[in-house]
Structure 1
Amino acid sequence: MLAGLEIPLGYIYARGETSRASQSVERDAAMLAEVTEENIEEGKVGELPDVIGDYATRTGGHVVVTDKQGIVLADSDPAARTGISLATQPDIARALTNQPTVTTTTDSAGRDVLSATMPGASGTTIRGTLRLTYPLDQVSTRVHRIWGALALAGGCVLAAVALAAFTLARWITSPLRTLEAATAQLAEGQLTHPPDATTGPPELRRLATSFTHTATQLQHLLKAQQAFASEASHQLKTPLTGLRLRLRLENLEPYLDPRAHPSLEEAVDEVERLGRMVQGLLALARLENTATTPEPVDLDAVTAERVAIWEPVAAEQYVALDITGPHVGQVWAIPGALEQIIDNLIANALRGSPPGTTITLHRTPGTELHIIDQGPGMNAADRERAFDRFWRSSDAHHDGTGLGLPIVRHLINASGGTITLHPSPDTGLDARIQLRPVTSRPRGPRSGGEGSGSRRPLSQRTHTAGRR
C-alpha cells in the first residue's frame, strides 16, 4: 500500500517540479526579452550586459542576447565571446521568425538544462532574440529531497505497523504458548500449570478453558483407571493366595478319581498362572504410579551377579549361561531395574531354550547388552507384538502371563534406554538392550501419577517372569 501511494506521489511531484521550473524559465525569458528589445530599440546596447548579468547572478541562469541577424550582442558569461553568429542554431532561428522555444537540452558542460528562447519583438518587428538556460541541478535536488522524505515517512509507517503487528501477535499467541506448555505437561502425565484463560482473543480464551476442563477430566479418568487396576489386582490376589496356600488344591488329589487328576493339575497350573498375572499387574501399576530417577549402575557387576544366580536353574534344564564381550562400565538405570530386566529376559530365554544350548549375554561397546538364546525364535509379526500386554505367541506352549516383556520395556524406558528384538545369527532370539553410559547426562525423573514419592528398589516391588 505504501508503494502504491508513495511512488505515484513521487512521480507526480517530480513532474510538477519540472513543470514549475519550465514555466518559471519561460516567464523570466519573456520578461527579459521585452527589456532587451526596448534597449535594442532605444540603442542602449551597452546596458545589456548589466541587465542580463544582474539576472544571472541572482538566479544562476545563463542569458544570451542576439540582434535580428542572430549576432551575439551580450552574454552573461564574462568568458563568452560576443559578435559571433548563432543564426544557424535551431532555437535562435525559430526565435528570429517570431516563434518561442522551450525545451530541455544539454549545455556545453554536459549538464541537463532548461532552455527558453524568446524573440525580442514589437508586433511583427523582430529586433533580436534572448536565450535563457537554467540548470536542472536544483530541480533534481528538490526532487531527491521529496523522494527521501517519502522514503523516511514510509519507513516510519512500516516501523509503526511492525511494532503494532508484533504487539498484536504476542497478545494473540500468548495463550497458545501457555497452551503448548500445558500440553507438554499433560503428555508427561500431570498438568501442574493450566493454560492462561484470561488473556488473548476470546476464541483462544475459550479454547484454553476447554482444554483445562478436558485435561482435568482426563487426569481424573486416568487416576480412576489406575486405582481400579491396582485395587482389582489386590482384591484378586487375596483369594488366589488362599487357593494356593490355604486350601492347597493339591491336597484334593487323594480324594479325587484318578481320571480327574489331569484336570486338577490344569486347575492348579491356571491358579498359579493367574497369580503370576495378578502379580504382574500389580508390578505394572506400581511402576506407572512411581517417580523414578536413573542412577549409575555397574552393568558388568550386575550381569555377572544375575548369571551366577541363574546358572543353577539353567543347569537343571541342561542350558548353559555365558558372558562375552568387553567390559562396558557404569550405565544409567533406575534402582533395581537392571536386575529385574536381566532376570525377566533370562527367564524368558530359558522357556524356549532346548537342552544342550547356550544363552549368551554379550556386551558391546556403547553400553549395549545382547541376551541371545538358541530357541525357536520369533517371526517378524510376533516380534512387533511381543511388548503388548497379555500377548503370547500363538505357538507358545508355556504358562507365561504376557506381562514380562511389557515390564522389561517399561523399566528400560524409565531408565532412558531402549530394547529391540532381533533374530539371532543362527537360530533363536536376540534381545538388544541399549542403555546410556554415565558420561551422558541423566534424564529427569519420570512421574506416573499418584504415589510418586516411592523410591523402593524395583527388585523389591516385582519379580515377574517374561514370556514370548
Structure 2
Amino acid sequence: MNSRLVVTFTTLIVFLIAALAVPLGLAYASHRTNRLLLDRRADATRFAELADQAAREADYSGLTAEITRYADLYGAAVRVRDRDGAVRVTAGRFDADDRDATRLAMSGRTTEDLPMMTPFGPASVLLAEPAGRDAQLSGVVLLQAPTDQARQDVWLVWGALAVGALIALTYSTLVARQLARWILRPVAELDRTTQAIAQGRLDARAHPGAGPSELRRLEERFNAMADAVAGAMERQRAFVADASHELRTPLTVLGLRLENLEPHLRAEGTAEHAEAMAELDRLALLVADLLALARVEAGADVEGKVVELEPRLATWREVYAAKGVLLVTDISERAVIPEAAARIADIALDNAQKFVPEGGTVTVTLADGVLRVTDDGPGLSEEERAEALGRFWRSGAHANVPGSGLGLAIAAELARACGATLRLLPADPHGLIVELRLPAP
C-alpha cells in the first residue's frame, strides 16, 4: 500500500508540475517568437523604405550596399523584387520559397506571425514587407532570418524549466514517501499487532503515535477491542480451569464411594455399577483434558525447554508391545525437541494405540525438523481430518473408543504455542499421519 500511495502522490505531482512547466515553456517560446518577428520586421520595414526610394530614383546601389552589410553582419538573406516580381537586389544565401510571401506583400500586407520557436526548429524564418504605400507599391522586400539565437534562448529556458521540474519532482517524491509512511504508520502498527495476536501473543497492542487522527482513533479502538476479547477469553479459560479443578475432588470422592458400594451390591446390580464406574472414569478423563487444555491456552504448561525424544518412546514401546502393535522409530538417539512437541507425540501415539488393530505398525520419524507419527489403522476421511483438530470432535465410527475428543485440540494448541505447524495427512494405503513441522531454530 505504501508503494501505491507513493505512486499516486508522485503521479499527481508530475501532472501538477507539467501543468505549470509546459504552459510556461510554451509562453516563453511564443514570447521569443514575437520578439524575433518585431526585430526582423523593423529591419524589413527599413529596407522597404530604402527599396521604395531606390525604385523612385532608379538607383539600387545604396540599397545593395546596405543589405549586403546587413546579410554579412547577421547571417541573413535579403531579396528585393520590383512590382513585376523581378529580382532587383539580393544578398546572402536565399534558399526559401518566397512565392506565397511575395503574393502576400504584393497585396499590401506584411508578415503578421511566425512559426513558434522551439529548440528543434525552424532553422530560419521568412518575412515579407511591401515597399511603397497603398496602391503605389514599388516592390517587395523579402528577409530570410536565421533563428539560432532565438532557438538557443528557448532551449536554455526549457532546459532550466526541465531541471527545475526534475528537482521539484525529486523533492516532492521524497515528501510523498514521508507522507505515505506517516499516513500508513498506524496501519503498519495494526498489521504488526494483528500478526502478533494471530501468533498467540494475546497481550500485543498497537502503540498510537504519528499518523492521521482517524487512524489513531482506530488504533485506540482496536486496542480496546483486543482488551475486551482477551479479557473474555481469559475469563473463559479461568472458568474452564477452575471448574475442571474444582470437579476433580468431587469426582474422586464419588469414585471412592462407588467402589466402597461394590461389596454391598446384589448380583443383578453389578453390571450397572460397572457402567457407572466407566462413565465416572470418562468424566474424570474429560475434566483432566479440559484442565490440560486450559493450562496450555494460558501458556502455563508450555515451557521453552527441550527434551530427548527416545526415552519417551521407550515407554510407549512397552504399551504397544502389550497390545501386539509394532512401534518403529527412525530418530537419532540424541534427538531433542521442544517439550511441547514431545507432548504432541505422546497424544498422537496415545490415539494410534487406540485405533491400530493388533499386528499393526506405528512409525515415528524425525528428519529436517519434521516429526511424523504414521499408523496403518483405519485412518480418517478428508472431511474428518479437516474437523479432527476441533474441540470435542469424535468420529462416528469411534464412538465406542474411550476418549474425550480433546487430545488433538490440545495438540493443536501446543503446536501454536511453540510456533510449529500441525497437520493430519492420509497414510498409504490406509491409516493416518500426524505431521508436526517444527520452527527453524
TM-score, structure 2 normalization: 0.77
Match of 2:278 in 1: 269
Equivalent-residue separation in structure 2 for 1:422 and 1:176 (angstroms): 37
Match of 2:231 in 1: 220
Pair 1:400–1:90, CA change in 2 (3 A): closer
Deviation at 1:134, TM superposition (A): 0.9
Equivalences for residues 297-308 of structure 1 within 5 A: 297-299=307-309, 302=310, 305-308=311-314
Corresponding letter in the other structure for 1:258: A
Match of 2:267 in 1: 258
Pair 1:275–1:53, CA change in 2 (3 A): same
Deviation at 1:252, TM superposition (A): 0.9
Q: Please, which of 150, 154, 175 is the counterpart of residue 143 of structure 1?
A: 154
Match of 2:337 in 1: 333
Deviation at 1:236, TM superposition (A): 0.6
Corresponding letter in the other structure for 1:270: E
Corresponding letter in the other structure for 1:234: H
Corresponding letter in the other structure for 1:138: Q
Match of 2:187 in 1: 176
Q: Please, which of 432, 435, 455 is the counterpart of residue 434 of structure 2?
A: 432
Q: Please, which of 410, 415, 428 is the counterpart of residue 413 of structure 2?
A: 410
Query: Partner of 1:144: helix, strand, or coil?
Result: helix
Match of 2:396 in 1: 394
Match of 1:62 in 2: 77
Q: Please, which of 47, 51, 63 is the counterpart of residue 66 of structure 2?
A: 51
For the Cα contact (< 8 Å) 2:108–2:134, is it kept in 1? no
For the Cα contact (< 8 Å) 2:102–2:128, is it kept in 1? no
Corresponding letter in the other structure for 1:323: V
Equivalent-residue separation in structure 1 for 2:364 and 2:150 (angstroms): 89
Cα deviation 1:169-190 (Å, max 9, x = unaligned): 3332222222223333333333
Equivalent-residue separation in structure 2 for 1:210 and 1:53 (angstroms): 87
Equivalences for residues 296-375 of structure 1 within 5 A: 297-299=307-309, 302=310, 305-317=311-323, 319-323=324-328, 326-327=330-331, 333-335=337-339, 337-338=341-342, 340-355=343-358, 357-363=359-365, 365-366=367-368, 368-375=370-377
Deviates further, 16-25 or 394-403 = 16-25
Equivalent-residue separation in structure 2 for 1:45 and 1:55 (angstroms): 15
Match of 2:288 in 1: 279
For the Cα contact (< 8 Å) 1:412–1:418, is it kept in 2? yes
1:190 aligns with 2:190: no
Pair 1:49–1:403, CA change in 2 (3 A): same
Equivalent-residue separation in structure 1 for 2:123 and 2:251 (angstroms): 110
Corresponding letter in the other structure for 1:407: I
* Structure 2 residue ranges without an equivalent (≥5): 1-14, 116-120
Equivalences for residues 69-218 of structure 1 within 5 A: 75-77=90-92, 90=99, 102=111, 112-118=123-129, 120-121=131-132, 130-155=141-166, 157-159=168-170, 161-187=172-198, 188-196=200-208, 199-218=210-229
Equivalent-residue separation in structure 2 for 1:329 and 1:435 (angstroms): 20
Corresponding letter in the other structure for 2:296: L
Deviation at 1:336, TM superposition (A): 6.5
Equivalent-residue separation in structure 2 for 1:111 and 1:306 (angstroms): 93
Equivalent-residue separation in structure 1 for 2:257 and 2:82 (angstroms): 145
Pair 1:168–1:354, CA change in 2 (3 A): closer
Corresponding letter in the other structure for 1:264: H
Deviates further, 382-391 or 214-223 = 382-391
Equivalent-residue separation in structure 2 for 1:212 and 1:190 (angstroms): 11
Corresponding letter in the other structure for 2:338: I
Query: Partner of 2:339: helix, strand, or coil?
Result: coil
Higher helix share: 2
Equivalent-residue separation in structure 1 for 2:130 and 2:316 (angstroms): 125
Q: Which has the higher contact order (CA 8 A, sep 6+)?
A: 1
Deviation at 1:28, TM superposition (A): 1.9
Deviation at 1:237, TM superposition (A): 1.0
Equivalent-residue separation in structure 1 for 2:91 and 2:394 (angstroms): 113
Equivalent-residue separation in structure 1 for 2:379 and 2:103 (angstroms): 111
Match of 1:445 in 2: none
For the Cα contact (< 8 Å) 1:182–1:191, is it kept in 2? no
Query: Partner of 1:191: helix, strand, or coil?
Result: coil
Deviation at 1:227, TM superposition (A): 1.7
Match of 2:53 in 1: 38
Equivalent-residue separation in structure 2 for 1:182 and 1:241 (angstroms): 44
For the Cα contact (< 8 Å) 2:244–2:290, is it kept in 1? yes
Pair 1:224–1:64, CA change in 2 (3 A): same
Equivalent-residue separation in structure 2 for 1:34 and 1:163 (angstroms): 61
For the Cα contact (< 8 Å) 2:303–2:340, is it kept in 1? no
Equivalent-residue separation in structure 2 for 1:93 and 1:426 (angstroms): 101
Equivalent-residue separation in structure 1 for 2:136 and 2:341 (angstroms): 121
* Structure 1 residue ranges without an equivalent (≥5): 443-468
Pair 1:410–1:419, CA change in 2 (3 A): same
Match of 1:455 in 2: none
Deviation at 1:248, TM superposition (A): 4.2
Match of 1:385 in 2: 387
Equivalent-residue separation in structure 1 for 2:31 and 2:416 (angstroms): 77
Equivalent-residue separation in structure 1 for 2:139 and 2:429 (angstroms): 118
For the Cα contact (< 8 Å) 2:106–2:139, is it kept in 1? no
Pair 1:15–1:376, CA change in 2 (3 A): closer
Deviates further, 392-401 or 372-381 = 372-381
TM-score, structure 1 normalization: 0.73
Percent identity, aligned pairs only, is 33
Equivalent-residue separation in structure 1 for 2:103 and 2:415 (angstroms): 103
Equivalent-residue separation in structure 2 for 1:409 and 1:97 (angstroms): 100
For the Cα contact (< 8 Å) 2:106–2:140, is it kept in 1? no
Corresponding letter in the other structure for 1:31: R
Deviation at 1:161, TM superposition (A): 4.7
Equivalent-residue separation in structure 2 for 1:97 and 1:272 (angstroms): 123
